[in-house]
Amino acid sequence: MRRGAKFGCPAGGMWRRMVGGAPAAVSFCAGIALIAVGLELFLKPNRLVAGGTQGISIVLSHVTEMRMGLLLLALNVPFLFLKRPGSGLRSVLARTAALGATAAAALALEPVPPLTEHALAASVLGGLAIGSGAGLVLRVGAYTDGLRETAFRLRPKVPLSAAELVALFHLAVLALAGFAFGWERALYSAIAYYAAYKSLEATVRRFRRHTMVVIRSGRPHDVRTRLTERLGGDVTFLRGPHASAAESDCLVAIVARERERALREEVRGADPAAELTATAVEGGGGRHEAPYGP
């Protein structure tokens, strides 16, 4: 096993299929390491959570005395089968690698003593580590918490956005921590949640690359409707100079680079004759629904 395997990082040629090239591999490994440090060396020893299945696994590990890494893996395995529309093999491999690597890294760090026993410091530093790590992993098209997939599945059935559903899920986990660890710990957990959300947001804004796709189609309404239903908040439409995007035969969309392939597939599904032109853009105009909230 190669050196990087200590933190659950796959080695060899599998990287290209799972997360891309060397820069993506570095981002992936760094993200997994940060998440594991935040969980095992800051939050778990101090009975704090930052929401999500990671928070549930921390609560269950204290109640059942089972290893958190195993619980984290068990809780997230069902989400591997919740395939989002437009997700290809690479996306599935990236998700599997991220979830497995996070569990392995948490198990590897379990014997290490906590870096601090001060609740406030642990909540801030743990939240920053987890959020930054999640952002780096998200950069390669993966994630380490399956609640977001549940939110996307439920979105068509409830009058809430996916981001609002994710926020409600996390608040429920914070409430669970309050009942399990006490409400003082729940308040510190809320700080950890906020730190995780803000650090993830900052990381995604710093590293996420976007593409502007110009779509010329004789069926613009069908294309726009399909993209909105299938990709939701992952794509943002821009208004043309003479008419709205919905009324013109030319749609202009901003999408994260890792979702460009999914966008192309959905456009072809709505109109096989559509013409697409893609241009890289700096920053991002798309609305990103982060795993830690709206």
Which amino acid is located at 11 in the chain?
A: A
Closest CA to 249 of 214, 211, 212: 214
Q: 3-state class of 37 per DSSP?
A: helix
Of 77, 189, 91, the closest CA to residue 137 belongs to 91
Angle at 195 between CA 286 and CA 289, to 5 degrees: 20
pLDDT tens, per residue, the chain with 294 residues: 344 444 455 544 444 445 456 777 888 899 999 999 999 999 999 999 998 889 999 999 999 989 999 999 888 888 777 655 545 556 677 778 888 899 999 999 999 999 999 999 999 999 999 999 998 888 777 777 777 777 667 767 777 776 777 888 888 999 999 999 999 999 999 999 999 989 988 887 766 667 788 888 888 888 888 887 777 655 666 654 444 444 456 788 887 776 778 888 888 888 888 888 887 765 544 444 445 543
Full-model pTM: 0.69
**32 vs 75: CA distance, rounded Å:** 17
C-alpha to C-alpha distance for 82 and 149, rounded to whole angstroms: 7
Return the number of other C-beta atoms located less than 10 Å from residue 79's C-beta: 19
Tell me the DSSP string of 184-247. Answer: HHHHHHHHHHHHHHHHHHHHHHHH--EEEEEEE-S-HHHHHHHHHHHHGGGEEEE--SSS-TTT
For the chain, the structural domain boundaries read 3-207, 210-281
Give the DSSP H/E element, type plus range, for residue 134.
helix 119-139
Q: Which residues contact 93 (CB under 8 A, 6 or more apart)?
A: 17, 18
Q: Going by C-beta distance under 8 Å and a sequence separation of 6 or more, which residues neighbour residue 206?
A: none
How far apart are the two ends of the chain, measured CA to CA in Å? 39
pLDDT of residue 9: 57
Quote the distance between the C-alpha of residue 44 and its chain's center: 21
pLDDT at 235: 64
Please, how many CA atoms are within 13 Å of residue 102, restricted to the half-sphere of its CB? 32
How far is the C-alpha of 261 from the C-alpha of 244, rounded, in Å?
A: 24
Cβ within 8 Å of residue 219, ≥6 positions away: 270, 271, 274
Query: Going edge to edge, which strands form the sheet with 235-238?
Result: 235-238, 250-256, 210-216, 275-281
Span 210-281: which CATH code? 3.30.70
CA atoms within 13 A on the CB side of 239: 4
